[in-house]
Amino acid sequence: MPWVFRGLRNGVLTTRYPRRPDAYAEHGVRNLARPVAGAVWRDGLEDLCPTGAIGQAHGEVRVDQGRCIGCGACVSARPETFGWQTGGDTARLDRRALVVPELAETDDELARLRAGLARRTRALRRSVHIRHVDAGSDGSEEWEVLALLNPVYDIHRLGIFFTASPRHADILLVTGAGSHGMTAPLARTLEGMPVPLVVIAAGTDAISGGLVSPSYATAGGVGDLLPVDVWVPGSPPSPFSLLHALLLATGRLRSGARRSA
């Protein structure tokens, strides 16, 4: 009975995202750095980032969010140049689109990738199964993946489920820096999955290797080991970012919306 009364008192806690906007998804998630509007390149900015995510193009400051670990060193040292990005809509179909501000010339390629992914995932309908593989993670991404199953996010309501068998999976969700020891298991997992399938690289480690790459033990991200379809930055990415990636992978969201500073 105490659980019944608690449920009546608290009401429904499950987010209505993506059917309805979620204030926390839009403004409460802060995990990636990006240049502020009009930021100008200055010598020494590249030394602020431990993973080499800061660079420049034609005098304009750029941040590779696929390498950003969210440490905040750049924001603390140069608040006039760098700021925090909020929101969970961080997943992208093109690795190059994780470099912000985004390059306009990638728009045509993004449109082509969206169309191709939509054709492949049309058969998945509303029942999707995920096979998650840890390819050398520090464990932080796994906590966020696990949170997708709690009452707040409850991905089962969207027809998305986890499975222990790659033969039953539509999506391969990979975390970790891509350790060399996982090369063969990843290949076997991919080979055992039915088609069409989607591969998601979740987290900075999976995208670029993070702090542990280059290393004798890692491949510098899983992109060297697998044909990745969706890239989710963050160290770790929030549950809303992971949910955004899953909805994007299954054609339930559009990608490519430009993010503001």
Residues 26 and 6: their CA atoms lie apart, in Å, by: 28
The structural domains of the chain, ordered by start, are: 104-249 (3.40.50.12280)
The whole-number average pLDDT for the span 38-49 is 94
217-226 residue pLDDT tens: 998 999 989 9
Q: What are the backbone angles phi and psi of residue 167, rounded to the nearest 5°?
A: -70, -15
CA distances from 258 to 31, 118, 173, 235 (A): 17, 20, 25, 21
Yes or no: say if 124 and 115 are a contact pair by the CB < 8 Å rule: no
Q: pTM, whole model, 2 decimals?
A: 0.90
132-159 residue pLDDT tens: 999 999 999 999 999 999 999 999 999 9
Residue type, 11: G
pLDDT mean across residues, the chain:
88
152-203 residue pLDDT tens: 999 999 999 999 999 999 999 999 999 999 999 999 999 999 988 999 999 9
Q: What is the DSSP letter of 103?
A: P
Q: What's the sign of the alpha-carbon dihedral 25, 29, 33, 36?
A: positive
